[in-house]
Every structure is written in C-alpha cells, then in structure tokens.
Amino acid sequence: MVCNLSSLVFVFLLFATTSYAIPVGEVNTICKQAKDPSFCSTLLNSNPNANLVGLTQYTIDIVRANVTNTIKLIDTLIAQSTDPKSKKHYKLCLGNFGSEGALGDLDYTQELLKKGDYQGVNLAASSIVDNIEDCVSGDAPSIPPFHDPSKLPKYTTITKSVVSVILVLSKNLGKKI
Ligand SMILES: *[C@@H]1O[C@H](CO)[C@@H](O)[C@H](O)[C@H]1NC(C)=O
C-alpha cells in the first residue's frame, strides 16, 4: 500500500513537472517556421522537458557557447595571420562578435527574456544575426567578401542557425501575451 501510494505520488509529480513542457508536436510546428526545420527540431528536442521560455533560455545558452568558441577561434586566426588583408578581416570579425557586437546583443537578449519582453528578445536576436552577417560580408558592400579558408565560415553558419531558433521561439512567445 505504501509502495502504491508513493508510486502514485511519483506519477503525480512527474505529471505536474512535465505538464508545462511543450509537446514534441508543438516543437515541430514551431520549427516549421525556422529556416532549417530539422536543425531546429533536433536542437529543441534535445531538451524535452522545457516550456517555451525554458527552450529560449536553453538556446541562448547554446548561442553563448557558440559565440565564445567563435571569439576564441578569431583570436587564434588573428595571431596566425601573416598577410594584412586576412588580419584586417579577422579583426573586424572580432568586433562583430565581441561585447560591442554579437556578445553584447546576446547579453541584451538574455536581459529582455528575464523581463518577459519577447518582442525585444526577437529584435535583439536579429541584431546578433546582423553582426554575424557583417563579419561574413565585411564592411564595404562594394568589395567582394573576403575568401576565408579557415573554420570561421563554418562557425558563423552554425551560430546563425542557432540564433534563428531564438527568432522563431520568441515570435511564438509573443503570441501568448
Ligand atoms: C554550436 O552549438 C551547437 C549545438 O550545441 C554545436 O553542435 C556546435 O558544434 C557549436 N559550434 C561552435 C562553433 O561552437
């Protein structure tokens, strides 16, 4: 009897703690709005017990890891560059990713999520994308983009994909207020 009661309590607690989690079906519906739906679903389904705010927080944390890794890579690339053209490109990218760029925008995104300003989250996350694109395309649109043989283009592409998941999540968060 005691055993049955405790398993009942367990089932109840399990239900109570997961009832706010959004179902896989809803994750997939939200991810259909993303540029890369399967990337989005894989990312979000790796954290199955979260609600929308929790998923947004989770995605922000991943972007932070991505941006931090990217900054480390850029630091190495600057140190290793021998020709001025590539050094200049990587220095510009460091600005685009640093606290005056993507990292600063990310802190702001985090702050707005805590405040529950979901439209603000969407706007701040868009600025992260803009900063990443500035790194890829360079400052002067008339000059052809720097041909980058390093791992940086791969890093920027994945970081942009993760940020685009914040964009769709925040749009859906906005609907619920
Ligand atoms: C960015 O995060 C994703 C998801 O955790 C990971 O697969 C990828 O390797 C990360 N990339 C970088 C450059 O940190």
Domain with 62 in it: what CATH number?
1.20.140.40
* Residue 90 counted as domain residue: yes
Residue 75 lies in a domain: yes
The answer to whether position 17 is within a domain reads no
Q: Does pLDDT of 12 surpass 90?
A: no
12 domain residue, yes or no: no
Neighbouring residues of 83: CB distance < 8 A, sequence distance ≥ 6 = none
Q: Is the pLDDT of residue 143 over 80?
A: no
Residue 162 counted as domain residue:
yes
52-99 residue pLDDT tens: 999 999 999 999 999 999 999 999 999 999 999 999 999 999 999 999
Using most ligand atoms within 8 A of CB, pick from 66, 73, 161 the residue to mutate for ligand 1. 66
Measured in Å, residue 154 CA sits from the centre of ligand 1 at: 10
Contacts (Cβ under 8 Å, ≥6 apart) of 170: 56, 118, 119, 121, 122, 125
Residue 13 lies in a domain: no
Domain that holds residue 94: 23-172
For the chain, what is the domain count?
A: 1
The answer to whether position 11 is within a domain reads no
- Answer yes or no: is 157 within a domain: yes
In percent, how much of the chain has pLDDT > 90? 75
